[in-house]
Structure 1
Amino acid sequence: WQVTNHMRESLARDALTMALAAKFRAGEDVSGLVHHSDRGVQFRSIRYGETLAESEVVASVGSRGDSYDNAMAEALNSVYKAELIDRREWSGLIEVMAETSKWVSWYNQDRLHSAIAYRPPVEVHSEWINQSDTESVAA
């Protein structure tokens, strides 16, 4: 994730770099991972594409005019705005960044999600990683 007061390509690329670095630190292989995004210019820039290619991440850009292509990301953005951003006045970008950091941690570590049997995402992700590791060893 990344917070700023503009929608330039660097915003998306900084968030991508942060996510890739977290995966690398965790020892997770991202090659072949599919990166879904809408057709926003920041996701179709040359530098953004190069960052994906360097990590062997496959870009999947949504169809023009199909609002359902990016429904999960749009839903997350709506939850973020409803649960955090729209609930108060902000003194500035630094405050938004600090509170967003806390919210993202809470959302991934503690918040129960109905789509995954009222469990936190970190728990489901950990099970998926362990299952993937077991399947790799068995193969």
Structure 2
Amino acid sequence: MRTELVIDALGMATLRRTPESGNTILHSDHGSQFTAWAFGQRLRAAGILPSMGSVGDCYDNSMMESFWGALQLEVLDTKIWKTRDKLVTAIFEWIGCWYNRERRHSRVGMLSPAEFEVRNPERPTPNDER
């Protein structure tokens, strides 16, 4: 995936969610789009702390790998995208309309992320006990 698409996705996410500076961690792999200077600058500007899994460790990054795998299978590989705008729109719709609103996730009790947040309005901070 191109760095520009990842930066666009980060920009959309931070506009909608307004993460609390220093309390939000983005976990990614060592892909070039996540290690690009521009991506790091965007993270710092949004107050998001970067976190990368260690090389060769498949367990610390499994949730993100699952997300990217689902995006690849359910959107990116479904057809040849004629324009970047059509692909951006498809990714936006998949994340905003399907993945966050409808798709159930085992990590949050088989609820959609949107339903989980409605039921759990007080999100833990990194210092809270888990």
TM-score (ref. length: structure 1): 0.69
1:46 — aligned with what? 37
More helix by share: 1
- 1:89-128 deviation per Cα after TM superposition (whole angstroms, max 9, x unaligned): 3462344444333322122112223332221110112333
Which runs of 5 or more structure 2 residues have no equivalent in the other structure? 125-130
Question: How much is the aligned-residue C-alpha RMSD, in angstroms?
Answer: 2.5
User: SS where residue 34 of structure 1 aligns?
Assistant: strand
- 1:71-90 deviation per Cα after TM superposition (whole angstroms, max 9, x unaligned): 1111112223333444x434
Partner Cα distance (2:33, 2:75) in 1: 24
Partner Cα distance (1:89, 1:40) in 2: 23
Q: How does 1:1-139 map to 2 (within 5 A)?
A: 7=2, 9-24=3-18, 28-86=19-77, 88-90=78-80, 92-93=82-83, 94-104=85-95, 105-128=97-120, 130-132=121-123
Partner Cα distance (1:10, 1:99) in 2: 15
Count of aligned residue pairs for this structure pair: 122
Give the counterpart letter for 2:109 in structure 1: A
Does the 8 Å contact 1:90/1:96 carry over to 2? no
User: SS where residue 109 of structure 1 aligns?
Assistant: coil
- Structure 1 runs of 4+ off > 4 angstroms? none
Partner Cα distance (1:53, 1:47) in 2: 10
TM-score (ref. length: structure 2): 0.73
